Structure 1
Amino acid sequence: MSDKDQKSLAVAREMVQAWNDQNWDKVGELFAPDGVLHSMMLDPIEGREAVASRIKALGAGVSWIELEIEHIGVIDGRVYMERMDRFVYNDHRGNVPVMGVLVINDDGLVQLWRDYYDRAQLLREMGVDDFTH
């Protein structure tokens, strides 16, 4: 495995730990200034500030979260991460399987993070009708 691949894996694991610690500021800081967060069922969120705002809004309802990595690896310079996201959101306990793809830039920041999951299942598990802000 190349040094760059190892560095990319380390950044991905740091991102997961920031989520698990509910350190929303750190999550935002790990994105590149022009980084993109794209939950594939929604329009992409572009720019560190917009991503950080979205994450903080979501995090406001989270009393506990664990992004449990089931499998992680680097293919063609991208980090592929299969995980089970477990959380308590506004007193609703939920579990959602997720497949994430991260592109880490040369500065060690997330340039692009795409997540694939069943949005209807996520909303049911969160106990909400919609979450788009």
Structure 2
Amino acid sequence: MGLKQEQRVRDFCQAWGDGTAGSRPAVEDILAMLSEDAVWQLWVPGGPVIRGREALRQEILRQMSYVTHNLCTIKHIVSSDSVVMTERDDYAVSGGKPMPHSMVAVFELDEQGLICAWREYLDTADLAQKKGVPLEQVGGPALA
């Protein structure tokens, strides 16, 4: 129960990159694993919500303009037939600054096995500090 869904999420995480300088997210592969009306909340609570495959494409490309070295390392994964949760240690470089961070992500999958909702729970204050952003700006444009 849930193993097929877990594999979808493992493939999804792997498609973001291998952590090397030359590695880039496989945008078309990522999008192919999402439903047409997929929703991504960039961080919970309070983060922006991106709706629809084309808007998701634009958000991924926007992030690719300033983030490199993406790597998602799954520490734990639990699943059912419609929900997969991961505890991860993610890594990226943003504006030349290493941005390692831990997070929990919740993925909802539809009957076709496509990701239709995706929420990431992470410490935005930690990321802001690593970027040198004043903590009072966290929750606004601090992570952009």
Q: Same fold (TM over 0.5)?
A: yes
Quick check: 1:109 aligned with 2:121? no
Counterpart of 1:49 (choices 28, 32, 54) is 54
Partner in structure 1 of residue 36 of structure 2: 33
Q: Distance in 1 between matches of 2:10 and 2:102?
A: 17
Matches of 2:31 and 2:132, distance apart in 1: 25
Structure 2 contact 91–98 (Cα < 8 Å) conserved: yes
* Cα drift, residue 88 of structure 1: 1.2
C-alpha offsets along residues 20-68 of structure 1, whole Å, 9 cap, x if unaligned?
A: 2521232223211000001223131111111111111112222201111
Normalising by the residue count of structure 2, what TM-score does the alignment of the two structures yield?
A: 0.80
**Superposed, which structure 2 residues align to 1:90-101 within 5 Å?**
90-101=95-106
Q: Which residue of 2 aligns with 1:122?
A: 127
Q: Distance in 2 between matches of 1:97 and 1:111?
A: 23
Root mean square deviation, CA, Å: 1.9
**TM-score with structure 1 length normalisation?**
0.86
2:130 and 2:110 map into 1 onto residues whose CA distance is 33
Alignment-mate amino acid for residue 65 of structure 1? N
1:8 to 1, 5, 9: 5
Range 123-132 or range 53-62, more displaced: 123-132
Unaligned runs of 5+ in 1: none
Q: Which letter does structure 2 place at the counterpart of 1:109?
A: L
Count of residue pairs the alignment pairs up: 129
Residues 82 and 110, structure 2, Cα contact 8 Å, conserved in 1: no
- CA gap 1:126/1:29 in 2 versus in 1, 3 angstroms: farther
